[in-house]
Amino acid sequence: MEPTAARKVFPCFDEPALKATFSVTLIVDPYITALGNMDVCSEVALKGTNRKEKKAVTFNKSPLMSTYIVCFCAGELRYTETTAFRVPVRVYALPDKNIEHGRLALELTPRTLQVFEKIFAEPYPLPKMDLIAVPGAPGAMENWGLIVFMESILLVDKEETSAEAYRWAGSVLVHELAHQWFGNLVMMDFWEGLWLKEAFADWAELYAWETLNPEWQMWENYASGAYQEGLVLDANRQSHQIEVPVNKPSEIGQIFDAISYCKGCAIIRMMAGLLGVNVFVEGVQVYLKRHAYGNAKTSDLWKALSEVSGKDVAGMMETWTRHVGYPVVDVDESAGSAVLTQHRFLAGGKAEEDENTVLYPLALQLRSKDGVDADVTLQERTKTLTIPEFFKLNADHTGFYRVAYSAARLEILAQNAKAGLLSINDRIGLIADALAVAQSGRSKTSPVLALLQTFDEEKNFFVWKTIFSALESIQQAWAFESEAVLASLKLFKRRLISKILKDKGWEFKKDETLLEHMFKALIFSNGRDDAEVQNAAQEMFEKFAVGDDKAININIRGAVFDFVLEHGGEKEYEVILKSTENTSSINKRETCLTSLGSTRSPSLLIRTLEFCITPEIVSRLETEVILRSFVKHKLGKTTLWEWLKLNLGRFLDAVGHGMGGFGWLVSVLLGGLSTRAQWEDVKNFFKEKDTERYNVYLAQFLDMILSKAIWVERDSDDVEVWLNDNGYGNTEVTWA
């Protein structure tokens, strides 16, 4: 019922700070299973007024808790359980679902609860832990003792689930279990403190994985994923501070974003690094114990951490939580020294004077051949530093800022990376920073392409993930430029990955690690312009189309579907559409739906969009999955936007508004647009619309569209010249 739906269900003071105990009785049919936050106290048979039998299921009284985590479920349900934890852990689902697909959750939940009890030094306080898969549920919700999940996250069919989806399911589960402490045991005082539960749940999840499964390398996954998402959104002029004032209910849903989650987690990670992880965890234990069953503000966290560390944590951290944005450190080198200057970083260009007033306390984390110097700081606007021959700022990218190097230094750092002097996170951050700096206009884009070109022998999955993300950002921004330039970018990518593609191949072995399967899938899906990959994809699909369900490995099924829809027609579309209807696997259906928007047939794209407003065919959640495939190509982007303009009313009626209103889809609908004309079109279209429920999202994406347009206008010649000069020009446009 987060954030404000409890008031629609029962009379209450529906605010986070107004906690209460809850005594709940549900009256249901005898064959119905009733679940609540607490365990069952009694079941009593009742006679209804029409002589129909009922039963009253009464639950034990809850501890003090906020209204938004009250939950009760009733339905015909099956369950599987484990006693591996000191209280029962059960996974519930509808009778037509394979309950054995809840095995991942059933095995991971007891281990996770034990890890969190040890980390937080606070026992899980409820007498049971239920996890339930609910059709149509968005993502997951951490209701105390009764966590609700969308079916594809809780019910993981290992035979039909890719390694990436399997890892994601585990990640969501651990995040929701972290909320049993951050958010449930201790709740923020009001919604401006949302980060105290969401960012902490993110951080606690990552910290727990060090014990649960270090082989998954979740910190590296964070560095290449959520950390970058926070940096990208906070470079937007329409971003907001972590501690953001909330004045009305419609604003609450719009702050469940990459600032509250990803930037918040980055600040916690940075703080833990500055204090020392053990000291930080000890401070968190004090915070939880002191505010258990109550509410807390950010200042309460600073106080607990200061007491344990002996440092002025508020003085160190308030700048980061109370102000919008973050800095870029410009590095101007000359003869063994460097002038470092910090400015607010904006993706759309340099900050104006009134946007550039905040000075951030930066730990520069200077890496050299002697290790990392953690004592070097930049708290003023400008500082001159003596530098060694090899240096890199923000070692391991634990700080929440960008670094702008010269093109010459980027070349040197690229060679340092080849020589093994940079960590995985250093290489990830180097690429991401170089791209962001180019997007903002602080450098040209050609040095980014030159940097990427040096990573052709890279061996790490997360670094390649970042390389492809950078290339996709360029290709998406340039999507409406000339076909010749787009073909040159395709050729650049094809040559860049030729070695790793040959090395990895697309044979998936059972004894390989989850990360290795993710790696092979990543390379295959990004190698679709390679002739061998194209032939293999076509051959696999032809076998699949005649009934060989095992012809395509689950890790590359989506990539194969995307390819055949891109180059095929109605026949291929019908095969994939039929597969969504002829499967009981939630995961397989989702994979098929995710590919439908990859077709280049205008009529099939429109047909797919009509599915999205037909609830009998696809659910609201499936609509979001489908629409994400439209932004992969130019025709999909324009078709989606033009169709939306004609059908906005029908669309909203079909998908509903939900938390944050239309905002949950703004990123999909507008994220693929990148020209100034499109920016004007979007701005004018929404000018007369009621956008109260999604005005924050809309403003952010308008800023992103304009930033991309300015970037392309500024650097289109630079990119084309570099591609031509380096042997990627004058290519024939094939498989376009």
Do residues 274 and 386 make contact, with C-beta atoms less than 8 angstroms apart? no
- Helix locations, 377-527, DSSP H: 407-418, 424-440, 446-453, 461-477, 483-496, 498-504, 514-525
The answer to whether the annotation marks 198 as part of a ligand binding site is yes
Which candidate, 272, 226, 267, places its Cα nearest to that of 119? 272
Alpha carbon of residue 54 to chain centroid = 44
How far apart, in whole angstroms, are the C-alpha atoms of residue 176 and residue 67?
17
| 3-class state of residue 419 by DSSP | coil
CA angle 265, 266, 269 (to 5 degrees): 85
Q: What is the DSSP string of 229-264?
A: HHHHHHTSTT---SS----SHHHHGGGSSTIIIIIH
How far apart, in whole angstroms, are the C-alpha atoms of residue 102 and residue 521?
24
- 228 exposure class (CB count in 10 Å sphere: 0-12, 13-18, 19+): buried
- Count of H helices and E strands in the chain? 29, 20
The answer to whether the annotation marks 517 as part of a ligand binding site is no
How far apart, in whole angstroms, are the C-alpha atoms of residue 225 and residue 465?
9
- Helix locations, 505-633, DSSP H: 514-525, 531-545, 557-567, 570-581, 586-595, 602-612, 620-628
The answer to whether the annotation marks 633 as part of a ligand binding site is no
How far apart, in whole angstroms, are the C-alpha atoms of residue 50 and residue 291?
49
Spell out the residues 6+ positions from residue 64 whose beta carbon is closer than 8 angstroms to its own. Answer: 19, 20, 21, 293, 294
Give the number of other Cβ atoms within 10 Å of residue 32's Cβ.
16
Spell out the residues 6+ positions from residue 277 whose beta carbon is closer than 8 angstroms to its own. Answer: 207
Do residues 698 and 666 make contact, with C-beta atoms less than 8 angstroms apart? yes
Determine phi and psi for 59, rounding to 5 degrees.
-105, 150
CA distances from 438 to 46, 239, 654 (A): 70, 20, 40
Which candidate, 473, 493, 464, places its Cα nearest to that of 728? 493
CA angle 563, 567, 569 (to 5 degrees): 110
Catalytic choice (122, 142, 151, 176): 176
Q: Is the dihedral of CA 10, 13, 17, 21 positive or negative?
A: negative
Strands lying side by side in the sheet with 53-59: 25-28, 53-59, 40-47
For every residue of 106-160, which 3-state class applies, written as one string?
HHHHHHHHHHHHHHHCCCCCCCCEEEEECCCCCCEECCCCEEEECHHHHCCCCCC
How far apart, in whole angstroms, are the C-alpha atoms of residue 41 and residue 65?
19
Alpha carbon of residue 113 to chain centroid = 23
> Annotated catalytic, 160?
no
CA angle 466, 472, 476 (to 5 degrees): 150
Amino acid at 725: D
Give the number of other Cβ atoms within 10 Å of residue 111's Cβ.
17
* Strand 377-378, strand 371-373: pairing: unpaired
Which candidate, 136, 127, 226, 138, places its Cα nearest to that of 180? 127
Rg over alpha carbons for the chain, rounded to the nearest Å, is 26
Cis peptide bond upstream of 123, omega within 30: no
The annotated binding site is made up of: 175, 179, 198
The annotated binding site for Zn(2+) is made up of: 175, 179, 198
- Give catalytic residue positions: 176
